[in-house]
Amino acid sequence: MERWIGRVALVTGASAGIGAAIARDLVCFGMKVVGCSRNIENIQKLSDELKNEKGSLTAIRCDLSKEEDIINMFKTITSNESLGGVDVCINNAGLAHNAPILSGKTQEWREMLDVNVMAVTICTREAFQSMKERNVDDGHIIFISSMSGHRIPPNTATHFYSATKYAVIALMESTRRELRELKSHIRVTGVSPGLVETEFVYRMNKDEEKAKALYSSILCLKGKDISNAVVYALQAPSHVEINDVLIRPTEQTY
């Protein structure tokens, strides 16, 4: 990870869970991390905790469902003299609603599309443009997808969410092919976790007891596990592109 010391990484959805774990590790490795979320208090608290580490964490408020917010965030990064632009973009933010195909609410589907698909696409475009403008040809774009982007989960509540994660896998591979056509050395990686114990299920079900029951019924991954995969991809030698990492506990059966 030595080559990334002092470089800038954007981590979306950095206020909790996987995003917070990734932000923490990258700061400890010496990167200048920008963490974004609609609620940045937790990111600011994490930044204070990491103030004695080699890198730094800057919190930016951003509603990823709004393109204007995303564009303004990239402008803020560019105008900050200590940052200047993005070298690594980690598309981590995502959400799920309990919204089956046959009975879900249209607005909840739209919210999932806006955050899980559109925001990922816009951030990827803006990160690439940031790299291109500064002649950065060794950057890295990482997509945090899901095992639900590789198979349909048995729970009907997450079927539409699964569709958005299939889209993320397609975006990842399409980005890789477009970069290859441009003869760019910017690398692309997809990380697809199984069930991770975070606030994700609590937010989806809006039922703390159901979430606790689910997490206690199956061996879950931790945010640190996903962060380890991100670091693994970032520290690969320049001639190696780690395209898709699938991670799940050995006891997880689907």
Where in the sequence is the domain holding 12, given as residue range(s)? 2-237
Question: Beta strands 187-193 and 140-144: pairing type?
Answer: parallel
Residues near 188 by Cβ (< 8 Å), separated by ≥ 6?
140, 141, 142, 143, 172, 175, 176, 179, 241, 243
Say which CATH number the domain at 179 has: 3.40.50.720
Please give the pLDDT value at position 199.
62
pLDDT tens, the chain, 254 aa long: 999 999 999 999 999 999 999 999 999 999 999 999 998 999 999 999 999 999 999 999 999 999 999 999 999 999 999 999 999 999 999 999 999 999 999 999 999 999 999 999 999 999 999 999 999 999 999 999 999 999 998 889 999 999 999 999 999 999 999 999 999 999 999 999 988 866 666 566 565 666 555 555 566 788 899 999 999 999 999 899 999 999 988 776 65
Please give the pLDDT value at position 179.
98
Contact in structure between 136 and 85 (CB atoms under 8 Å)? yes
Please give the pLDDT value at position 200.
60
Tokens read off for 130 = 């940031």
Distances (CA, A) of 188 to 68, 75, 206: 25, 23, 34
Q: Which of 161, 166, 215, 232 is catalytic?
A: 161
| Active site annotation includes 254 | no
Instruction: Classify residue 100: in a domain, yes or no.
Output: yes
Contact in structure between 35 and 64 (CB atoms under 8 Å)? no
Instruction: Classify residue 249: in a domain, yes or no.
Output: no
Instruction: Classify residue 56: in a domain, yes or no.
Output: yes
Structural domain count of the chain: 1
Rounded to whole angstroms, the Cα distance separating 190 from 173 reads 8
Instruction: Classify residue 147: in a domain, yes or no.
Output: yes
Contact in structure between 241 and 188 (CB atoms under 8 Å)? yes
pTM above 0.85, yes or no: yes
Instruction: Classify residue 253: in a domain, yes or no.
Output: no
Q: 10 Å Cβ neighbour count for 201?
A: 21
